[in-house]
Amino acid sequence: MEPQRLMRLATVASTSVALTLVVAKAVAWVVTDSVSMLSSLVDTSLDLVGSLITFFAVRQALVPADADHRFGHGKAEALAGLVQAGFIAASGCALLFAVAERFNAPKQVQEEGVGLMISALALVLTICLVAFQRHVVRRTGSVAIGADMAHYGTDLVATLVTGVGLFISGFFDQPLIDSGIAGLVALYLMHGSWNVGRNSLDILMDRELPEEDRRRVEEIARRNPGVKDVHELRTRSGGLTRFIQLHIEVDRNLSLLSGHDIGRQVQGEIAKAFPGAEIILHVDPAPAS
């Protein structure tokens, strides 16, 4: 299946799962009056908002380059990731306030069996979704799908911890256990928001590709016997597209056509190593010896 179709399918799957889980966890929270279930509901509600943002961002990012956006629309993904990070951080803070209030006025969990059944359903659906999203990210490198996967990863942990917290709190008749679990989930949410936000900012600020990728580009260029030197290597990413710019030096006595052929060979080898990348290569005459 082509990357664009995989990405669209992943956004539909995440939105559908999030909507199902929001309804299920809302019912469980009303029935159990569990603050840890509330924390899990908040996390899943954020996932739904994030999935909707990703749904539209991915479609915008896949729009081909046009006269006003010569480098494409790939950064829409990073913008979506940054918005999602803000939502997660704000909700984590709000949840911490709710936990603090419950610590001051503890309430015992009710009907924990309902909460445990909902948690089990959420675990199964979330595990399946995260596995599919991981496959999509591996195939496409999508930042927005990766951010969405991070959300559901935290939701997976939150759901698991919530289920354990409900069982222990009910078994020992200790409401503070439920509140403590919710506090841990809130801190985990805020940690996830930091990772998502940092990755999104890296793209928006045109951070260089990983050092191993830069080394690989340079090694490919230097491997050509006609290349004397490589300099001014610049890289960045924008959604699905990686941008690579570099200068190569060739024998100054070569004809323009021969120098151009060497540049075309190097550009072709880099394109093989980085499929879909946009490569700008300048051919310079080597300094006189």
pLDDT surpasses 70 at 165: no
Are 18 and 156 in contact by the 8 Å Cβ rule? The answer is: no
Per-residue pLDDT band at 115 (split at 50, 70, 90): low
Side-chain-facing half-sphere of 217: CA atoms under 13 Å: 29
pLDDT surpasses 90 at 264: yes
Are 261 and 281 in contact by the 8 Å Cβ rule? The answer is: no
Distance CA 109, CA 153 (A): 25
Give bridge partners of residue 242 from the DSSP assignment.
Answer: 237
* Domains of the chain and CATH, by start: 3-204 (1.20.1510.10), 211-285 (3.30.70.1350)
* Cα first-last separation, the chain: 53
Identity of residue 157: V
- Largest separation between any pair of C-alpha atoms in the chain: 86
For residue 70, the tally of other CB atoms under 10 A from its CB is 7
Query: pLDDT higher for 155 or 129?
Result: 129
Q: Mean pLDDT in the chain?
A: 78
What CA–CA distances, in Å, run from 262 to 38, 54, 244?
62, 42, 17
Distance CA 35, CA 39 (A): 6
pLDDT surpasses 60 at 4: yes
Write the DSSP string, 2-40. -HHHHHHHHHHHHHHHHHHHHHHHHHHHHHH--HHHHHH
pLDDT surpasses 80 at 13: yes
Q: Kindly report the pTM of this predicted structure.
A: 0.56
